Amino acid sequence: GYVFVVVFVQQLPSAASRLASCVLPSSAPLRPSLCPDDCATPRHSTSQVVYCAGGSGGVGLRQDQPHDYNVIIDNVIDAIVDLLGQPQLDDQNNVVVGELFSHLLTTYMHLKTSSHFEPSNDRSKSSDTGSMRLLLRLTEDLGPAVLRSGVLVLQCLVTVLSMYTNQDADATGDNEADDDDDDMDVLSVGLSMATTIVQAGAAARSADEEALLTQMLVPLEQLARHPKAPIAEMASDLCLHILARSADDHKQDVMTAAQSFAEMLDRSKADLQSAQVPLRARGLARLTRWIRRRQPVDNVEALVALCVHHLADADSYVYLAAVQALAGLGDVYADKTIPLLLDALAQDATYSVEQRIKLSEALLFTARRCGDVMPKYGRAFVFGYLRCIRSRTLPNDANDIEEATLRASCLSNLAEVCGLLHWAISPYITDVVGCVRGILETERLATDAHIALRRGAVFVLYNMLQLMGRDILEAVPDAMTPIYRLLKMEASTEKDAVCRFHAENSVKALDTIMRGELFNVGQASSSRPGGLPSLIFLNQDER
C-alpha cells in the first residue's frame, strides 16, 4: 500500500495541499447563530461511524467511541512524516516536503495575523496547533530536505516579512509604540538571510525566484519606514540590491556594483559600528567575500588591525566572522599577514588575553591552509608560538588562569603545527622539547594555571606522536630519548588525571611505534638499506 501512496504523492501536482488538509480545517467554522443554545461556540465531534459485522450477517454501522482530538492529530502527523521520509521521496528534484512546509507556514502566519482570527474558537485553535506541530515535526525529522529549493526558501522569507509588515500595520492602528524584542530579532535574521541570498547567491536565477524577489519588494518598502533604524536600513539596502539586480542582470558581480577597496572598507566599517549583531557580522562577511574572491586589497595592515579589533566582540557570530576574515587574509596574502598576526599575538600590552586566544586560532586556520608551503613559514609559526608560551609573568602571578589558558592554547596549536610541518620540524625540535621540558619541570604547583600548562605541554608530545607516527623516528631521532624520559617521568609522578592520561597514552603510542620499528612491522624490508630496520634505543644513555 505504501508504494501506491508514494507514487501518488510523486505524481500528484497538488500533493502538498492535500497533505496539509489533513491537519487544517476543511470547512469554515459555524456561525454562532447556528450553534445550539447551550454552547457559546461551535464544537466539532470527535466521534465517528465505523463499519462492523451485522447482527444476522452482512455489514452494519455503529458509532465509534469518542477520541481525543490531539491523539488523532498526532497519528495523522506521524503518518505524514513517515510517508515523506520514504527513500523514494528523498530526491533533489522532489519538492513535496518543501511545498508542504511553505504551505503550512503561510497558513499559520495568516491565521496569526488575520484580524478575523478568534483565539476562543476551538476549531481554529485546533487547526492552528495541528499545523504548528506538523511544522515542527517536519523540521526535526526531515531536516535540510524541508528547504532544498531556492524558490521555497525565498517563499518562506516573503511570508515572514509580510507577516511582520501586517503586524506593524495592526500595531499602528492600536497605538502600540514598541514591538517585541524577540520579533525584532527574528525580523533581523530574516532580513539578513534575504540579503545573503541576494548578495552571495547565484548570479542567474530562475523566473520563479526573480518573481519572488520582486514580490519581496512590497513588504521591504514598508519595512524601510520602520521606526527602528537598523531594520529600516537593512530593508532599504536589500530593496536597493533587488532593484539593482533587475536593472543590471548582465553584471555578474552580485555583491555590489563595481567598487573600489576603499568604498568596500567604508561600507564594512559602517556596518561594524552598528549595535545590531547581524549588521556587524555582515560587515565582516563582506570583507571575507572580498578577500576570498581575490579582489585587490590596498592595505592589508588596515584589514588585519580591523579584524583583530573585532575579535573582542562578545557575540560569537561576530568574532568567528573576524577569525574567518583573518584566516582568509592569511590564505591569500600569507607573506604579509602571517608576520602581522604573529606579532599581534605577542603584544600582551596592546590586546587582551581573549583577543590573543582567538588570534591564535586564526593562525592555526592559516597554518592548515598552507599545505605544502608550510615549511616556508615553519620557523615563524614555531618561534611565534614559543615566544607566547614562554612565561613573562611575575612569580606571584601563578594563579593567573587567563594567561595560563592562553599559553595552553598556544601549546595545543603548536602541537598541530609540529604535525603539519612533519619532516620540516627537525630544525626546531630542540626548542620545542626544551620548552615542554621547562614547563613540566617548573610549573609543578597544584593551581589551575599550572595544571592547564602541564596538560598543554604533555599534549604537544602526545599530538606529535599521533600525527607523525613512525616517521618521528627518522624526523627527530636525537630528540627521542628526552621525549621518552619526559613522558615516563610525567606518567609516574603526575597527580592530575588528565596529564597522566595523556602521558600514559603517549608512552603506549611510543611503545607501539618502537615495536613496529624493531620488528619491521607494516614496512617492506626493501625500504631499508640492507633490509635492516633502523633501531633507536630510547634509554641508551642509561645502560
Q: Write the pLDDT tens digit of every residue in 235-253.
A: 887 887 777 665 444 444 4
DSSP labels, 415-458: HHHHHHHGGGGGGGHHHHHHHHHHHHHH--SSSHHHHHHHHHHH
| Residues forming a β-bridge with 61 | 51
Q: What is the pLDDT of residue 379?
A: 92
| Res. 366: pLDDT tops 80 | yes
384 versus 48: the higher-pLDDT residue is 384
Query: Given pLDDT bands bounded at 50, 70 and 90, which one contains residue 501?
Result: very high
The amino acid at 200 = A
Task: Tell me how far apart the alpha carbons of residues 353 and 29 are, in angstroms, rounded to a whole number.
Answer: 63
From residue 372, give the alpha-carbon distance in Å to each of 183, 263, 375, 422, 542: 49, 35, 7, 11, 39
DSSP labels, 354-407: HHHHHHHHHHHHHHHHHGGGGGGGHHHHHHHHHHHHS--S-GGGTT-HHHHHHH
- How large is the average pLDDT for residues 296-323? 88
Q: Is 55 helix (H, G, I), strand (E, B) or coil?
A: strand
| Res. 89: pLDDT tops 50 | yes
Q: What is the pLDDT of residue 48?
A: 61
Which residues, including other chains, have CB under 8 Å from residue 383's CB and lie 6 or more apart? Answer: 428, 431
Query: Given pLDDT bands bounded at 50, 70 and 90, which one contains residue 465?
Result: confident
pLDDT averaged over every residue in the chain: 75
Q: What is the pLDDT of residue 254?
A: 39
Which residues, including other chains, have CB under 8 Å from residue 288's CB and lie 6 or more apart? Answer: 321, 324, 325, 328
Are 268 and 281 within 8 A, CB to CB?
A: no
From residue 262, give the alpha-carbon distance in Å to each of 254, 255, 267, 323, 395: 18, 15, 9, 21, 48
Q: What is the pLDDT of residue 233?
A: 79
Phi then psi for residue 523, to 5 deg, are: -145, 135
**pTM higher than the cut 0.75:** no
Run of H or E residues at 63: strand 59-63
Query: Given pLDDT bands bounded at 50, 70 and 90, which one contains residue 116?
Result: very low
Are 363 and 415 within 8 A, CB to CB?
A: no
Task: Tell me how far apart the alpha carbons of residues 249 and 202 are, in angstroms, rounded to a whole number.
Answer: 12
Which residues, including other chains, have CB under 8 Å from residue 255's CB and lie 6 or more apart? Answer: 199, 200, 286, 289, 290, 293
- Show the cell assigned to 80: 505524514
Q: Which residues of 218-237 are buried (b: 16+ CB within 10 A; e: fewer)?
A: ebbebbbebeeebbebbbbb
| Res. 11: pLDDT tops 60 | yes
Half-sphere exposure of 250 (CA within 13 A, CB side): 0
Q: Which residues of 464-492 are buried (b: 16+ CB within 10 A; e: fewer)?
A: bbebbebebbebbeebbbbbbebbbebbe
